[in-house]
């Protein structure tokens, strides 16, 4: 059996590796001229790290990831702790794998190397760059093929569109294509260790791996260490500016980011003062959940079918879950237990509603995180203190992940 995956991001490569381990021959088409992920830090929940470990990546991830001890919600002005989620060994024991912090590029490299490593089980994944998909043939019951800009044709028994929030495959199969603007953007940057560690106000960021969230009116900020405690990763979310709204991504002066957090907890102000003088700002857009991720022998994965806001830190983790479930479903087709169309319908049924709950929960967290000081904010903070959780979607439910039929937790590496 042969599969074609459009998009070589984290979701696409996870799916490729999951299919490879089931004996499926996979070709991945990437429109960029060379592989690589842009961005900075990444949070990977236990629901996703256990998938990565099942795929045999525990050993490769160990030197480039940090096991997160806790996730802390704080008040914008004082840094007072509002809620704390304890993770560390307890989370690993409960959910079968740890909560991880790592750099997006490091995870992408680990996935790519595993996909093309001839020593691993299954057919080596073929990855082709500079392949922009412009057409799709036979998306119904027959074997589909994609056509690239240069006229090349890549056929298989199934096609997976893992080509992001502006997915061309999604449009080609007639799935809902509207993308919504959240009204927010995120500044993302990595701050180097030396100055942060020398400053008595900020050096505590390197005490142990933890994610700290400061919540304020119309904005919040997330900070956590990555790459062996050599950097603090910053995600600073504010109302979107006109340039980023138009361009979607722009490099801007760090002074613009710092101005949004004047008067905040001194630790935030001092930390941002150590950033590079240019940072990248990204528009935060999303889709409304929809239930049907497939048509015939073509299916969608990751941001192509469930683009979500980062207020649960679950975008990449949900795409990784997609890859695991896709692997299980397509294996049934390879064994003749289901047709390809039935297998992809099962994949959609198992994942669409689940991911949709996370999408909606993340959207609801936007309003919850960004309350102005006042009665509603005080009620929220008191609820946080009492229950140590933020929304009606529990972290336990998210971290347990989509039930897997072939759950090999703890047998990675």
The residues that are catalytic are: 224
- Report phi then psi at 152, rounded to 5: -70, 150
Q: How many CB atoms lie within 10 A of CB 349?
A: 16
Contact (Cβ atoms closer than 8 angstroms) between residue 77 and residue 263: yes
Per DSSP, the three-state class of 236 is strand
Q: Which residues pair with 191 in a beta bridge?
A: 232
The gap between the terminal CA atoms of the chain, to the nearest Å, is 26
Task: Give the burial class of 290: count Cβ atoms within 10 A of its Cβ; 0-12 exposed, 13-18 middle, 19 or more buried.
Answer: middle
Q: How far is CA 47 from CA 89, 95, 178, in A?
A: 15, 7, 28
Bridge pairing between strands 41-44 and 126-128? unpaired
Could you give the dihedral angle defined by the CA atoms of residues 375, 380, 382 and 384, in that order, rounded to the nearest 10 degrees?
-170
CA distances in angstroms from 393 to 69, 300, 359, 364, listed in the order given: 21, 24, 10, 10
| Closest of 30, 294, 23 to residue 158, by C-alpha | 294
State the alpha helices, DSSP H only, in 117-165: none
Encoding tokens for residue 339? Answer: 């047709």
Taking the C-alpha atoms of residue 155 and residue 164, their distance in angstroms, rounded to an integer, is 21
By CB neighbour count within 10 A (0-12 exposed, 13-18 middle, 19+ buried), where does 354 fall?
buried
* DSSP per-residue letters across 285-345: EE----S--EETTEEE-THHHH---GGGS-HHHHHHHHHHHHHHHHHHHHTTSS-HHHHHH
């Amino acid at each position: 059996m042969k599969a074609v995956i459009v998009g070589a991001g984290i979701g696409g490569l996870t799916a490729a590796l999951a299919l490879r381990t089931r004996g499926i021959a996979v070709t991945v088409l990437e429109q960029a001229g060379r592989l690589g992920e842009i961005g900075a830090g990444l949070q990977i929940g236990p629901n996703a790290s256990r998938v990565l470990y099942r795929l045999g990546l525990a050993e490769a991830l160990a030197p480039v990831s940090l096991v997160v001890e806790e996730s802390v919600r704080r008040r914008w002005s004082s840094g007072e702790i509002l809620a704390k989620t304890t993770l560390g060994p307890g989370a690993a024991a409960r959910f079968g794998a740890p909560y991880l912090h790592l750099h997006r590029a490091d995870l992408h490299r680990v996935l790519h190397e595993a996909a093309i490593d001839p020593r691993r089980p299954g057919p080596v994944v073929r990855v082709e760059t500079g392949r922009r998909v412009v057409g799709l043939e036979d998306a119904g019951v027959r074997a589909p093929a994609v056509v690239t800009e240069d006229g090349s044709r890549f056929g298989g028994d199934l096609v997976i569109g893992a080509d992001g929030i502006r997915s061309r495959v999604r449009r080609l199969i007639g799935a809902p294509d509207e993308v919504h603007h959240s009204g927010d953007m995120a500044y993302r940057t990595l701050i180097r260790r030396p100055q942060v560690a020398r400053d008595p106000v900020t050096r505590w960021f390197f005490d142990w791996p933890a994610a700290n969230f400061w919540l304020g009116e119309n904005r919040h900020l997330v900070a956590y260490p990555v790459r062996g405690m050599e950097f603090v990763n910053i995600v600073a979310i504010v109302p979107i500016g006109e340039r980023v709204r138009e361009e979607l991504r722009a490099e801007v002066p760090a002074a613009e980011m710092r101005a949004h957090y004047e008067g905040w907890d001194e630790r935030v102000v001092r930390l941002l003062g150590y950033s590079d003088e240019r940072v990248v700002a990204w528009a935060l857009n999303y889709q409304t959940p929809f239930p049907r991720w497939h048509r015939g022998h073509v299916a969608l994965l990751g941001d192509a079918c469930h683009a979500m806001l980062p207020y649960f830190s679950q975008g990449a983790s949900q795409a990784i879950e997609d890859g695991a479930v896709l692997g299980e479903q397509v294996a049934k087709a390879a064994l003749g237990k289901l047709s390809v169309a039935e297998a992809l319908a099962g994949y959609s049924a198992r994942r669409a509603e689940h991911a949709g709950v996370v999408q909606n929960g993340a959207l609801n967290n936007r309003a919850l995180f960004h309350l102005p000081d006042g009665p509603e904010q005080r009620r929220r903070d008191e609820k946080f203190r009492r229950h140590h959780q933020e929304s009606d979607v529990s972290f336990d439910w998210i971290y347990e992940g989509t039930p897997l039929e072939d759950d090999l937790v703890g047998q990675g590496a």
